[in-house]
Structure 1
Amino acid sequence: MRRRHLAAGVLASLIATAIVVPLAVAAPSTSDPITWHACPDGLALECATLTVPRDHRAPDGPTIEVAVSRLKAADPARRRGVLLLNPGGPSVPGLDLPLTIAATAPRELTDSYDLIGFDPRGVGRSTPVHCQLTPEQLDPTKLFPYPAPDGDIAASVAYSRQVAEQCGRHHGDLLPHITANTARDMDLIRTALGEQKISYLGVSYGSYLGAVYTTLFPERSDRIVLDSVFDPNKIWREGWRDWGPAPEERFDEFADWLAGRHAEYGLGATRRAVRDTYLGLAAQLDARPVPMPGNSFRAATRYGLYSDRAFDGTAKLWQAVKRGETPPGPGGKLPFGAPLWAIVCGDAGWPDNVALHQVQVHVDRLRHPITNGLPSNIWPCAFWPAKPAELVMKITDNGPSNVLLTQNLRDPATPHSGAVAMRAALGERARLVTVDQGGHGVYPHTGNACATVTATTFLVRGDLPKRDVWCPR
């Protein structure tokens, strides 16, 4: 398990966040049936809209809308229920996710379940939070904030203050009511579908959301798969700080791959040489104000670590930079921004000590140069206008043994240590499947036979392994 490193004296400055179990708030016993219709934008699914309380603890108060989609089980005779899906992010829309899962999952799974997607509250078509961000404010290197090339965070502080003020001005009434209420929205989806229980597959942030749901509603949780698991003890800032050591370990795997193809790419014949190439190219780009500064190059490389399939594209990006070309950055508009902040700032308190962030950024740049201070940089959460309505959810072992965790050993976004922590929190409710590979995301996309068979057998037949599982590459 990786150890979190902090500069001397910094740990004492962190703001402690209390941990409580929020009120479950039972879903209504009856609900109007869902009215399905054609999905927008030609999406080949059925869609519907549910009206839910903005705050489930005040069910007679203001309401918002949640968009839901469905892909029916391919074999009605074998249908056993619904599988609710969440792609993570936080804040990635999930309306089209049934199509993505159906394209990669074993037929046994799609025969057995109606696949149910939804845009979580504040996201996509579900009463979206937008904060009136400008195109410049949607720069990916600001949404996931890199410091200046020398580590200074003054620009990040100014950006964070500005967008926090915008979010409070435009969405202050919704901002405190996200993850725990999203889990309650999920239970209203279950009720509207006429199901006694729901099964669930959630990735990354979706792993935490699923753990919140099954902690709140253990008796309504059927078979739960949490993939690429976020550490429930690090919601949220300390989880981002794992983006120092975790990408370093995954980068070494990429560097070994690239060194083995030195004749093809010419970017270094050893792990050390590849690392030197990366740091050198980033430093060269830091001197260019536009169109691709070093931080965009760093961001593109970090995203390239999410999948082995991205290695070739990342190597070609490096080659282009080495030739003096200025290829595009990691993409323009990412599926994040304001909804991301609504979740991670609304769930937990963040330290507002600017000096603390600056010190930690300098330490990160020395210890983890691949991400150059990103993990500890300041976010709008430091100036967030709305305090969390409920404190951080404590994940507990209070239900049947019905949770399977699937986790890559070298994940650059949600490290293996987070899955170990979630396994400990869920206790005998859960089993952990560890896959000896890198990248972000296991089931059903990577095709690892061991993990795929284990997860599919659990979802379709209910066979939870008797003990934790180790899957070779």
Structure 2
Amino acid sequence: MSLSRRIRVLAVAVLAAVTGFPATAAATGTTLTWGPCAGVPEPTQGLQCTSMSVPLDYARPTGQQITLAFSRLPAADPAKRRGVLLLNPGSQGDSQLSLPLQLIALGLPQSVRDTYDLVAFDPRGAGNSTRVTCDLPVTFMIPPAYAVTNADVDKQAGVARQNAQGCAAAPSAPLLPHITVRNVARDLDGIRAALGERKVSFLGYSFGAFLGATYATMYPWRTDRFVLDSSTGPNGLDYTWSRRFAPGLEKHFPDFAAWAASQNATYGLGDTPEAVKAKYFELAAKLDQTPIETVDGATFRWINEALTQSDATFPLLAQVYQQAADGTITRPPLPPGFDFSGLLSIVCNMDGWPTDVEVYRRAVDHDRAAYPLLGAAAANVWACAFWPARKTEPQVRIGDYGPSNILMVQNLRDNGTDYPGGVEMRRALGDRARLVSVDQGGHRAYLFGTNACANATVARYLADGVRPAADTACPA
């Protein structure tokens, strides 16, 4: 695989207590027709795909319907089958129906494979489900562009306003008010009902962890074994979450700097961590002044953030630094059909996004100084400041009512969902949850990291129901 493609794939892989409505009535009694998964490799492993209709607006269950696409990999040992394990990888811009195969490739244990049908789905608004589109430019970034000056904040505000206007002008605009986490959780319960399951288990990463917490709050007695990996705070993907990209990177970047310094003979980025960090600032400032084709300083910082979300991509990042230094760096292209519009819609329908650009200016000023690696990007303006959709109902408030059956796992140096957010989510879930704090860096712990303790703890809970009796830690 070429360097640019590997960077593209890895960077992309990188973002009321009750429902108030009946559980997905349209799904009850639904007959599902399973077939091959279009475009998914290795079909001989048995992955099946299907779709079903659910209400766009659950307040009007017989009104307009949308399509949900999902996949299933049947349990490897029917005699040991416990039920269904719903999967969500986090923010996505394309279909994730092959996720069961991806997790197996990452080392999902046979004990988990034997225990569950693995079920992945594309949330409403994204992938092979009914999609929204905002005609986002190829330069769209999460988090937004780095603001060197206040003028750059105003520039980004103009870009963000255009993003929001693109959502409002698109044919899918009528869908926007209904692309919410609450409705995605209702959709999940519809999948549960359509599969004929009384309860479901769940493994969700990042946004998927917040979705799992939302489902567990809305439908506490329909939850079996729930794993929330790399949680946001209990308010979800809000402005606080965005700003936390910056302190998260400050914690994890030293891991890369130490690694790169140990590899100085190969990459020439500096023989000490301090020299590697200085090289980062040198290259970013150089590209701020003299961009190389499609790569400016903001894009370089974005690539740096994306490729520090896993220690496994440190060699790729070191090559990016070399390319920035010798003038050969290029912006990684997006895969065909890739679109962050669905994710943007879910994020901007959450609470906690300021609408006054001056709030962003002040935050950028503060975070640029406090977190120089990324602060002036993570605090910059999102389209959410100008979001055209009116909220139709309140966001779910994560709570602690229900069975104690949630296992949380959180890396200490996570630059996608900073560790304090996980602690806050743990507090909101109360005695329902146990938190495993993992001494490793990067975003997503289970299977995406190499910590044997974390991987074994999650697998043991999913397969055997054995969960730590109290919050615990996994050493490096």
The one of 194, 199, 202 equivalent to 1:200 is: 202
Query: Does the Cα contact within 8 Å between 1:215 and 1:398 map onto a contact in 2?
Result: yes
Q: How does 1:31-430 map to 2 (within 5 A)?
A: 31-43=29-41, 44=43, 45-89=47-91, 93-103=95-105, 104-133=107-136, 137-141=137-141, 143-151=142-150, 152-170=152-170, 171-177=172-178, 178-233=180-235, 235-289=237-291, 290-322=293-325, 324-332=326-334, 335-348=338-351, 350-430=353-433
What TM-score do the two structures reach when normalised by structure 1?
Answer: 0.91
CA–CA separation in structure 2 for the residues paired with 1:253 and 1:447: 14
Moved more, 346-355 or 70-79: 346-355
Write out per-residue CA displacement over residues 205-234 of structure 1, whole angstroms, 9 at most, x where no aligned residue: 000000000110011111000001111135
Query: Does the Cα contact within 8 Å between 2:207 and 2:237 map onto a contact in 1?
Result: no
CA–CA separation in structure 2 for the residues paired with 1:190 and 1:244: 37
Letter in 2 for 1:412: N
CA–CA separation in structure 2 for the residues paired with 1:347 and 1:355: 20
Shift of 1:32: 1.7
Partner SS for 2:281:
helix
Letter in 1 for 2:17: V
Shift of 1:79: 1.0
Query: Does the Cα contact within 8 Å between 1:25 and 1:184 map onto a contact in 2?
Result: no
Query: Does the Cα contact within 8 Å between 1:94 and 1:120 map onto a contact in 2?
Result: no
Query: Does the Cα contact within 8 Å between 1:89 and 1:336 map onto a contact in 2?
Result: no
Letter in 1 for 2:173: G
CA–CA separation in structure 1 for the residues paired with 2:122 and 2:35: 16
Hey, what does 1:11 align to over in structure 2?
Answer: none
User: Which runs of at least 4 in structure 1 moved beyond 3 Å after TM superposition?
Assistant: 90-93, 147-151, 330-336
Partner SS for 2:378:
helix
CA–CA separation in structure 1 for the residues paired with 2:60 and 2:36: 32
Letter in 1 for 2:49: C
CA–CA separation in structure 2 for the residues paired with 1:236 and 1:335: 23
CA–CA separation in structure 1 for the residues paired with 2:238 and 2:95: 20
CA–CA separation in structure 2 for the residues paired with 1:369 and 1:120: 35
Shift of 1:349: 5.0
Query: Does the Cα contact within 8 Å between 1:53 and 1:59 map onto a contact in 2?
Result: yes
CA–CA separation in structure 2 for the residues paired with 1:23 and 1:430: 21
CA–CA separation in structure 2 for the residues paired with 1:445 and 1:351: 33
Letter in 1 for 2:19: L
Hey, what does 1:16 align to over in structure 2?
Answer: none
CA–CA separation in structure 2 for the residues paired with 1:147 and 1:245: 15
Partner SS for 2:135:
coil
Moved more, 394-403 or 266-275: 266-275
Structure 1, gaps ≥5 residues long: 1-19
Tell me if 1:463 matches 2:438. no
Letter in 2 for 1:301: N
Partner SS for 2:407:
strand
CA–CA separation in structure 2 for the residues paired with 1:430 and 1:227: 12
RMSD of the alignment, in Å? 1.8
Partner SS for 1:373:
helix
Write out per-residue CA displacement over residues 2-23 of structure 1, whole angstroms, 9 at most, x where no aligned residue: xxxxxxxxxxxxxxxxxx3352
Query: Does the Cα contact within 8 Å between 1:218 and 1:398 map onto a contact in 2?
Result: yes
Query: Does the Cα contact within 8 Å between 1:292 and 1:326 map onto a contact in 2?
Result: no
Cα 1:96–1:464 change in 2 (3 A) is same
Cα 1:361–1:330 change in 2 (3 A) is farther
Shift of 1:450: 1.1
CA–CA separation in structure 2 for the residues paired with 1:378 and 1:303: 19
CA–CA separation in structure 2 for the residues paired with 1:71 and 1:285: 46
Query: Does the Cα contact within 8 Å between 1:409 and 1:435 map onto a contact in 2?
Result: yes
Percent of paired sites with the same residue: 43
Query: Does the Cα contact within 8 Å between 1:345 and 1:384 map onto a contact in 2?
Result: yes
